[in-house]
Structure 1
């Protein structure tokens, strides 16, 4: 067998099937096993040559025996057949919920006699038009059910098959569901409230005729500027590899910049590692809402196929993505990842008015993206590489708000009205990013920089001298940092082996423009479940076993006992370490009426930019745009006497 895959390439359907078939042949998994996640064991695989089998791990559950295992094995390769190497028991409550398991729960719950009876009290007699979304119950398990694998359900009703069910919450109903037996073991009924009386449909024509929009064409007559070999990409001076995992979705590996004859490494790995969404409302159908969407469900299976819409424009390169479903079968997401170039306004410009000369360069960026649909919300994740050496992550939030019912005449205390008898709770979105740094090599340090007024009047006689104060973060216990724009806080990730021509360590600057804090009482479940959101940046020394900021299995986990806050107790030195930084990007969403019935895009993100990595502007070699592509035709007089100028 000849296999040429690189260790970092996304897992293939063939690898999934060969490992899954070995697991299915084992009698201990029972007649109706459930699978959650298969991934390459990166810590072992990254030292392997191309063509060898890859170490993998996956999770399988036997719901009839309340048992679960983390199974390790090897996929096939040159001189190797697929094999299993270990079965490690895990707490059966704690594996994530697959999309297949969620569908089984929804069907079983809406057919439950006790839920049907409660629906009938609300005039809902056709339960086939009811949705039940299984939600994470971590931290809110009833004491007498604490040994079970549980979920709780949000209940929605559609007036027709194609209705927007998320616009019609069934208020007051909270089914508690045993995920293994697929039964509603308890039903809370907090009283009948009126259903939404207004449509939440968002299709064209629902709210009036579509406006007229002139065509906007994106063309690249000579084709794209990037080159693709399998999952290896080069563009301008950049090179990197594209990966994909069940837990994180899109992963970028080995990001480097070609500087003359030298390929200089910057990041060994970059991915969205976790997403936490706490709702800040004590309403009985909202107070339990707080989710680790990646750790309790998985970004991979939630990835949307981009063949279903117009998400990218221009000369596009798509990559299919693969994952294991709840039955243990390989599934393919066609066009799961998109890559394309975008014009991004001005790169640099100056007009020399003394001689009448203007020099301007237009900026373009390479964008690598994927979208995940998490029930009602849709999240886009866009990594952009720029011609000046910057790296940017933009998270785009859209989709449908998670709403609750409200009685006639009541006003929401902890949210906003968005439609008659429909309120949207205030909530937050936190995104934990994992970046394994490699600035000019594997050994790096983290330095925090802030601004201070120079207090020495002999040095600052006019009162305007400001110094930038660097502080090296020496060890992990110091590496829980808070952003503070009032002090111009930012961070440098420095090489400990290489300096620039000024004698400074070569480095990249990390800026976090979007941060917030959790507005929850200390000791609350929301606060204890995700202690990592209390800070805006964490750092650890690389350890292959420390993969996820919230811990390996956060579903029904002990609150706050695992993950990065536990790892930091080791207090490993960071100066000259293989460094992993974990930025936290957050947004406080106090909703607007304009967010309904579907939310216009909201953008948050982070930026890494070279800070002494180069000796001067690295984009001086970007050529001026050809006149045929950027020209100013003769001014045309408008109806109001002004002039119009067009740039193509």
Structure 2
């Protein structure tokens, strides 16, 4: 197998067996995933695979003992040996789907929760209609951070296919998975009875009952009778001069490695690694207990673990190639999510057009794009992640958000105080943000890359001066980042600020400027263009510190894969050698 390939089910099973043989006592397996080779070793092998030792296959294993101790280790799958095994303090591992389902199961039979449901109008015999979305609790001064606590956001469904977010409940239990007990329930001073409004249902069953789907929207059929333009060999993809490796892990989901571009027969490296490293969703209601709602949907739950099994027709259309994803469950058995990754082509509109006004002659070229995607569901939200390769040398990351708002019960006389919006009778949707962190490990024509800040500035001299007689001069001012601290920067809309990643040792033959990635063409530079400044709704010093700037730069390290840390308690990140 290729060193970048995700672990297979047999490799996961082997890693679990090796750990079990070496470790006395029961273990709950949280993670078994590929431990990527060291970058220097991997790049040497990629450069000359015939004469360079192939990096070993290795697995990172995260396991929990019954008393809550957390172990993180590395298993060499080539030598079948444990090379690292560490007891880790002060952090908590991801919350898995099994963890989430177990909390809901326990909630329905907990006597204290049953009594709270009865207090707001849900009879004991309707506990099968009670649901919860377990979230990590973050920090609550009453409980500290030594235990892996979860807060259960409670809901009700009159019918199994109803939308539970239209029926939020007003109390919040706290669950300790180490003791398998609910240790506390937060109950408001003013109770809010369960909502009795009719369900605003979007389920197909309800739509059919109300007259069926729209008839005025005609279908668009996509066909490729001659087949696709991309080639796939295992996890390697070639398309329109692009060549890259598609990986997939429990935390980031899709990881792209060794991205290169064929420039008239010369294979040119572009990126060593690209991934969506982290995201956070802070909520804006300061009233207890809502201040605890700040979900790290990647770092706390895992975009890979939450990935949907995709289906043809709506998730993906056209001629599709799928990739499966293998994970581990708590018992240590390997599991598979079928069709976790979708690879397909789409029409991308006009690539180039020019009309000569003299004779009205026109040159026009259509464009296609290659899309590598996955979709994951984090409680009420869906995140559709699209890595898009274009024929003009652009790589685009597109993130679509769908799903449903997170809600809380609202008293008829209650004032939302601006912290949320009444979206239905008795339903308050709290203010929140979605903030993403893209991790870029560049390899522009080789590993010696430099980051420049680029600002559009006025030319020197006042109007009427020899340097700028008519006052129309402006240029792109490039500021080199020499240290990580210098690279901590904000976006400046007034100067249309972008960033360039350049190889200063290689010059473009026409511009005589360093080879760089720009927005327009692979061969002459790719600019990073985050959106204009927006309010960051959290205090300095919080767990969200990686989001205080739009861009930051750090030195290359296998320990710096995740901007929020390997564990939870620990907007663009560039990794340079």
Question: Shared topology, TM-score over 0.5?
Answer: yes
Deviation of 1:299 (Å): 1.4
TM-score computed with the length of structure 1 as normaliser: 0.81
User: Which residue does the alignment assign to 1:615?
Assistant: none
Count of aligned residue pairs for this structure pair: 548
Q: 1:177 aligns with which of 175, 178, 184?
A: 175
Q: SS where residue 433 of structure 2 aligns?
A: strand
Q: SS where residue 114 of structure 1 aligns?
A: helix
Q: CA separation in 2, counterparts of 1:256 and 1:211?
A: 45
Q: 1:422 aligns with which of 420, 427, 434?
A: 427
Q: Are 1:487 and 2:483 an aligned pair?
A: no
User: Which residue does the alignment assign to 1:570?
Assistant: none
Q: 2:8 aligns with which of 8, 12, 20?
A: 12
Q: CA separation in 2, counterparts of 1:285 and 1:516?
A: 29
| C-alpha contact (below 8 Å) 1:278/1:291 kept by paired residues | yes
Q: Are 1:209 and 2:212 an aligned pair?
A: yes
Q: Gaps spanning 5+ residues in structure 2: where?
A: 518-525
Deviation of 1:283 (Å): 3.9
User: Which residue does the alignment assign to 1:402?
Assistant: 406
Q: 1:21 aligns with which of 17, 31, 41?
A: 17
Matches within 5 A, 1:154-303: 154-171=153-170, 173-190=171-188, 191-196=190-195, 197-204=197-204, 205-206=206-207, 208-212=211-215, 213-303=217-307
| C-alpha contact (below 8 Å) 1:515/1:536 kept by paired residues | no
Matches within 5 A, 1:375-524: 375-412=379-416, 413-457=418-462, 458=465, 459-501=467-509, 502-508=511-517, 509-520=526-537, 522-523=539-540
Looking at both structures, which has the greater relative contact order when contacts are Cα pairs under 8 Å and sequence separation is at least 6? 1
Q: CA separation in 2, counterparts of 1:238 and 1:183?
A: 52
Deviation of 1:39 (Å): 2.6
Q: Are 1:118 and 2:116 an aligned pair?
A: yes
| C-alpha contact (below 8 Å) 2:242/2:259 kept by paired residues | yes
Instruction: Note the alpha carbon deviations across 1:460-493, whole angstroms, 9 max, x for none.
Output: 2222221221100110011111112221100110
Deviation of 1:231 (Å): 0.7
| C-alpha contact (below 8 Å) 1:301/1:325 kept by paired residues | no
Q: Which moved more, 1:124-133 or 1:374-383?
A: 124-133
Q: 2:84 aligns with which of 83, 86, 94?
A: 86
Q: CA separation in 2, counterparts of 1:201 and 1:530?
A: 35
Q: CA separation in 2, counterparts of 1:62 and 1:34?
A: 9
Q: Which moved more, 1:109-118 or 1:472-481?
A: 109-118
Q: Which moved more, 1:87-96 or 1:490-499?
A: 87-96
CA RMSD of aligned residues (A): 2.3
Q: SS where residue 85 of structure 1 aligns?
A: strand
Deviation of 1:88 (Å): 0.5
Deviation of 1:146 (Å): 4.2
Deviation of 1:534 (Å): 1.1
User: Which residue does the alignment assign to 1:547?
Assistant: 561
Q: CA separation in 2, counterparts of 1:111 and 1:170?
A: 17
Q: Which moved more, 1:472-481 or 1:325-334?
A: 325-334
TM-score computed with the length of structure 2 as normaliser: 0.90
Question: Structure 1 residues 141, 369: closer, same or farther in 2, change over 3 A?
Answer: farther
Deviation of 1:293 (Å): 1.4
Q: Gaps spanning 5+ residues in structure 1: where?
A: 566-573, 581-648
